């Protein structure tokens, strides 16, 4: 942390006692000649123990261990109190906002706590965790950043993509460093991979069979996802019960089918949202996209059990968006029109034609027609969109 090692309260940039090369720690691995984190270093990170679990906290690296700073408040000087309290959060934002004086006080307190012969050694040892058994988060949430064109080759490639009509390199690019604005969609803590969109090198996928109406099955899906990728950035609730639904008068609907539809379409959506929320809450970000139906917006006779379930999904989306927005989680909904799939091909031809004729874009709707809207809603491009329903039906329903 820059400027955190000057004399606390002095306003001077001179190094203080924490940089004395003669200092040694009771953590043996910190005293080795090749130690990356000697007591003179003490880098900070947001971590938690994989073995013990719990909340992510701010810790300090020492040798091959990391100290949970938030647990050491009673052992540090009183002037370290505000910084220790800030270290109990899941990011370094609160600590950064305190400023250099508090950073320096915390660094000095940690240095004295971790030295050979420190009076609180035994207590500190109880809150040291092996770095090898720790998992880490980014210390701060990165929304976007500016990057610099790194070479003439890089600049030329960018120009050819951005301005194919004028591919020649402007003189301003030749003589001046040029920056461009970027989104940090794949910035992760060191040592962690990430899944790129399909078609990009290095993409990974995980397949798991899930019954969304079974809470244990849903939780298992999320556990496998976290074990493989370390986080959950987006959830699209697309599972639905529809194939077996036939055109039926509302007073002739089988109660068992009514219950099954609501167990999958409504309870299943709720259970999936519930299962990913701890990870999203911990990250301070996430995007959920629920798939409803245009029939929930416009109504449709003969399929009341399905229409009612998708209407419930619309309402669930709005209520959940209000509830989880404080955690940085967005919840939106897509209402597709009549999409041509294996589950809908057996519908009455006149019903299919009624949708086709009513559309501004008079063609059959394919599953791929929903992809662009779904990608938009889970991406940072929709970073200020929540609680909304987007109808994707080729211009049938307009409002």
Pairing between strand 179-183 and 234-237?
A: unpaired
To the nearest 10 degrees (0 to 180), the angle between helices 215-229 and 268-283 is 30
Structure tokens at 141: 């949430």
Identify whether the C-beta of residue 246 lies closer than 8 Å to the C-beta of residue 210: no
306 tagged catalytic = yes
Distance of CA 121 to the CA centre of its chain: 37
- Cα end-to-end distance, the chain, whole Å: 52
Number of Cβ within 10 Å of residue 31's Cβ equals 15
Active-site residue, selected from the candidate residues 192, 207, 306, 376: 306
Report DSSP state, residue 213.
T
Other C-beta atoms within 10 Å of 132: how many? 8
Q: From residue 225, give the alpha-carbon distance in Å to each of 49, 111, 280.
A: 18, 39, 13
In this structure, is the dihedral angle defined by the CA atoms of residues 7, 9, 13 and 14, taken in order, positive or negative? negative
- The CA distance from 359 to 220, in Å, is 41
Give the helix, strand, coil percentages of the chain, each rounded to 5.
40, 15, 40
CA distance 289 to 283: 18
Q: Encoding tokens for residue 55?
A: 């909340």
Residue 79 near residue 29, CB atoms below 8 Å: no
> Which spans in 62-143 are helix H?
81-86, 93-98, 100-113, 121-125
Please list the active-site residues.
306
């Amino acid at each position: 942390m820059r400027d955190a090692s000057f004399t606390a309260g002095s306003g001077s940039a001179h190094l203080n006692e924490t940089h004395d090369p003669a200092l040694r720690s009771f953590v043996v691995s910190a005293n080795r000649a090749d130690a990356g984190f000697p007591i003179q270093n003490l880098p900070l990170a947001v971590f938690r123990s994989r073995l013990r679990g719990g909340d992510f906290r701010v810790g300090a690296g020492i040798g091959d261990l990391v100290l949970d700073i938030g647990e050491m408040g009673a052992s540090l000087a009183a002037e370290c109190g505000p910084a220790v309290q800030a270290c109990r959060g899941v990011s370094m934002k609160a600590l950064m906002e305190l400023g250099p004086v508090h950073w320096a006080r915390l660094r000095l307190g940690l240095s004295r706590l971790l030295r050979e012969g420190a009076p609180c050694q035994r207590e500190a040892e109880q809150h040291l965790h092996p770095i090898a058994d720790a998992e880490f988060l980014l210390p701060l949430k990165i929304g976007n950043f500016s990057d610099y064109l790194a070479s003439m080759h890089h600049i030329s490639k960018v120009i050819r993509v951005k301005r194919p009509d004028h591919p020649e390199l402007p003189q301003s690019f030749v003589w001046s460093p040029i920056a461009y604005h970027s989104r940090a969609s794949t910035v992760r803590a060191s040592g962690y991979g990430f899944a790129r969109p399909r078609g990009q090198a290095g993409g990974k996928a995980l397949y798991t069979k899930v019954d969304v109406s079974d809470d244990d099955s849903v939780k298992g899906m999320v556990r496998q996802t976290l074990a493989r990728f370390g986080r959950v950035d987006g959830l699209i609730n697309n599972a639905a019960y529809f194939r077996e639904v036939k055109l039926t008068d509302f007073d002739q609907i089988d109660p068992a089918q009514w219950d099954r539809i609501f167990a999958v379409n409504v309870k299943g959506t709720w259970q999936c949202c519930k299962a990913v929320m701890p990870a999203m809450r911990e990250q301070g970000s996430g995007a959920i996209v629920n798939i409803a139906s245009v029939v929930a917006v416009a109504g449709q006779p003969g399929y009341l059990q399905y229409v009612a379930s998708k209407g419930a999904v619309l309402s669930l989306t709005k209520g959940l968006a209000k509830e989880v927005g404080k955690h940085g989680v967005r919840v939106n909904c897509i209402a597709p029109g009549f999409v041509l799939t294996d589950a809908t091909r057996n519908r009455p031809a006149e019903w299919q034609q009624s949708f086709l004729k009513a559309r501004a874009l008079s063609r059959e709707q394919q599953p791929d027609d929903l992809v662009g809207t779904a990608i938009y809603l889970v991406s940072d491009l929709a970073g200020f969109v929540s609680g909304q329903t987007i109808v994707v039906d080729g211009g049938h329903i307009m409002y």
